[in-house]
Structure 1
Amino acid sequence: MTAELRQLDQSEWEQWYATLERAFGGVAEAPEERQLWDDLTECERSIGAWDDGVCVGTAGAFSFRVTVPGGALLDTAGVTMVGVAATHRRRGLLRAMMRRQLDDVRERGEAVAVLTASEPAIYGRFGYGTASYSLRLEIDTTRVRLAVPPGTDEVRLRYAVPAEAGPACEAVYARRVAGRPGMLARRPGWERLITLDPPGERNGASPQQCVLAERDGEVVGYALFAVKPEWDARGPKGTVRVQDVEALDPAAYAALWRFLCDIDLTSTVLALNRPVDDPVVQLVSDVRRCDLRSRDSLYVRLVDVGAALEARTYQAPVDVVLDVEDAFCPWNEGRWRLVGDPKGASCKRVDADGTPADLALSVRELGSAYLGGVPLAQLAGAGRVRELRQGALAEASLAFGSASAPWLPHGF
């Protein structure tokens, strides 16, 4: 590698970001979207690779707090904006940026790094494991009805201007964060991402719309969506594109989904990113008419194994010694004794010579299992976790689970 790696200076942002855009196909973003990312970029956490004064590689990180099983918010590095110019591929640039970035994450005392992957095959070699999935639904509302719980009719719905309703929506979202692993506690400025609605990216749909759910004058839920009108010889067949739905109780949640499925002149409700255990799946009358599909979402990398495993709680009592392999971050290599239960946990390094291991796995598998969405038993079935003490796999796999499936509500 001949390029120079250095921390991004704000004056270099335009060239740096243009390099990233080109790496992702070269289509320029809308000015308002580009401005948002300019405002949110943390230059002190961003790396540029420069060759003779030209930016040829980018990598950044956001300072996040992510919910882990048990409800704690863990300081986390949100890895983002990673790209290498096509002229400089296969020169070790990506590896060098990942090396520098993870060293920096460790120095900052963040036990975990997360990312979303444009290409899933890339990041496993750096210790990232698939930790959550998202659900895509396409509900045929001409054939599907919703069975709603008691109290749904008592919820009042009203339209609101998305930007004006932002604080109320954020308050609902904030109350939901602790209940689901993988959710991000949004810092100031990030609420702008949720209502970002560039006209050039609507693809024939309406501007973003917002409906608030209220009970006794209090906002208890919201839906952000757009409607794409369409007609054929048989009549209207528009699509409701769901961008976000959150509510504080089942009745409010059902009221919002019933509204989305009953909008006039539409026949389809399309939601591209919902939790895999979304309750709406249990409200619909015919799940086969909802075209459910899942795909990978959040990738997790344990930067400090001991601190990360101590930060979460465990569904059931667990006492196991993990023999961890981590070639890219060798400070994690070795044996760790994890003792935990629903109240808390301890994870300490132990002497490899004097303490037999119960399970053997790499840090990538620990990342996949960390949020409770990928069972250790499933990874063992694929040969990626080895049971060294009989019964240890079942014990650990149960303990690592989560009552709610992990979910990343939006990208970064």
Structure 2
Amino acid sequence: MSVEVRNVTAPEYSDWLRAVDTGFLNITSRSPEEVASRLARTDLGRTWGAFDEGRCVATYRSFAQELTVPGGAAVPTDAISAVTVTASHRGRGLLRQMIIADLTAAKERGDVVANLVAAEYRIYGRFGFGRATSTAKWVVSVPRTGLDLRRWSPPEDGARIDLVDGAEVRKHGPAFHDRWRALQPGAIDRDDRWWSVNTGLEPTTPPFTEPFHAVYRSAAGEVEGLATYTVEGNWNDAKQPENILSVRRLSAMSPTVERALWHFLCSLDWVVEVRTGQRAPDDLLPHYLPDPRAAHLAGTADYLWLRVLDTARALTARTYGTPGTLVLDVRDGAGMASGRYLLDATADGATCTPTTRSADITLGADALGSLYLGDETPTRLAALGSVTEERAGALARAEALFHTPRRPWCPDMF
């Protein structure tokens, strides 16, 4: 009997969740309450499964999202998650059927791009996705920072840092995040469920453990920064504390606020090491410390992958490093982003329209995805064979156009 690929029904949802856990090698036991809660927030019309004699052997889902692009605009995005194929059914084209069906529906719906966080590197390039953001982790040796930890003082100008509970975060966090994400290309929106899950209001597997939340408030009382962290208690044989603080999230409206939050975390009694969690690859953290060498880079990796669905709308939505024009010939095997487009960037905004003019550069949909948010550059992609310069000087123009002051960053898993 052939494997059937289709949308999941409500009675099949528990089996679909089991297949997700199997695909990610998780041995879990989800309560009926958690399954019901997840189902209530799941769009089954965007939830796919492959069924072999009634058993779910592959999974896939998407949901609506907003992605911030250079310049601060948010574009409608098809966010993809829970992609698995059971080991016994690999190599049968099940993912291809699910992803093409979903991307086709997303384009028809009017989504500008699709994105995902890739568990494995080699899967998504063949579907037109390109690595669009990177992530980095630092470990800070607190005694080596050069900070006078005995004399930490609150922020100046009447601002303050307060420890709050999950209810307070749910009250002020969503509005703060919406303000912050407009400043950060690569950031995504967070729905009500995100705030419920990450503050312990909704049941999860494994059970939620309450973290600490530090809020930076301006003198006027407005939330300007938020840090969420946990602390692992350790004591050495000499009865000295050697606690490790792990940051789950830290975002701030300005470098001044960000510096204050990092200094606060490094000042906590008994903490000798701070682990930053996922940060931007060009994060300023080391240079907020008197001795930047106290923060050593613990690892870097690709993070958000992006696939352009509507080239004209995508390139019109973002801003550019300099005024100029460029003709891009986009090659897309699935046909979704294909075409030759004239990009005209001005100080007042950009337009991108189909054109018959000769191309300046040629690139695939995956390269366009890598280039779009500014994490990659045309010159680097050309060196890797992913972009071809068709007219002398075009790469230099593309380099100036797509330049961004800071690299994009997505702090959230989905």
TM-score between the two structures when normalised by the length of structure 2: 0.91
- Letter paired with 1:74: V
Q: Retained in 2: the 8 A contact 1:323–1:336?
A: yes
- Count of aligned pairs: 404
Shift of 1:34: 6.0
Residue 146 of structure 2 corresponds to residue 145 of structure 1: yes
Question: What do the CA deviations read for 1:74-128 (whole angstroms, capped 9, x no partner)?
Answer: 0000011111111111111111111111111111111200000010111000010
Distance 1:139 1:331, change over 3 A: closer
Q: Among 217, 224, 227, which residue is 1:214 paired with?
A: 217
2:137 partner amino acid: R
The answer to whether the Cα contact below 8 Å between 2:14 and 2:35 also exists between their aligned partners in 1 is no
Question: Which shows bigger deviation, 118-127 or 24-33?
Answer: 24-33
Stretches of structure 1 lacking an aligned partner (at least 5 in a row)? none
Q: Does 1:115 align with 2:116?
A: yes
Q: What is the 5 A alignment of 1:13-412?
A: 13-28=13-28, 37-145=38-146, 152-153=155-156, 154-196=158-200, 200=206, 207-216=210-219, 217-234=221-238, 235-292=240-297, 293-327=299-333, 329-351=334-356, 355-412=357-414
- Write the letter of the residue equivalent to 1:175: R
Cα distance 1:278–1:119, how it changes in 2: closer, same or farther (>3 A)? same
Work out whether residues 180 and 404 of structure 1, in 8 Å CA contact, stay in contact via their aligned partners in 2: no
- What is the CA–CA distance in structure 1 between the aligned matches of 2:176 and 2:9, rounded to whole Å? 36
User: How big is the shift at 1:338?
Assistant: 1.4
CA distance in 1, matches of 2:262, 2:147: 8
What's the offset of the Cα at 1:30? Answer: 6.4
Tell me by how many angstroms 1:10 deviates: 2.5
Going from structure 1 to structure 2, the CA distance change for 1:344 and 1:248 (only over 3 Å counts) comes to same
Pick which of 188-197 and 26-35 moved more.
26-35
Equivalent position amino acid for 1:3 in 2: V
**Structure 2 unaligned regions, length at least 5:** none
C-alpha contact (below 8 Å) 1:62/1:77 kept by paired residues: yes
**Residue 61 of structure 1 aligns to a residue in which SS?**
strand
**AA aligned opposite 2:262:** W
Tell me if the contact between 1:315 and 1:342 (Cα under 8 Å) persists in the aligned partners. Answer: no
**1-side partners of 2:300 and 2:273: how far apart?**
18
CA 1:248–1:146 in structure 2 vs 1: closer, same or farther (change >3 Å)?
A: farther
| Conserved 8 A contact 2:154-2:160 | no
Q: Distance in 1 between matches of 2:36 and 2:104?
A: 29
CA contact (8 A) 1:63 1:75 kept: yes
| Deviation readout 1:31-50 (Å, 9 max, x if unpaired) | 58766644442222111111
RMSD of Structure 2 on Structure 1 (CA): 2.4
Contact 2:199 2:210 in 1 (8 A): no
| TM-score normalised by length of structure 1 | 0.91
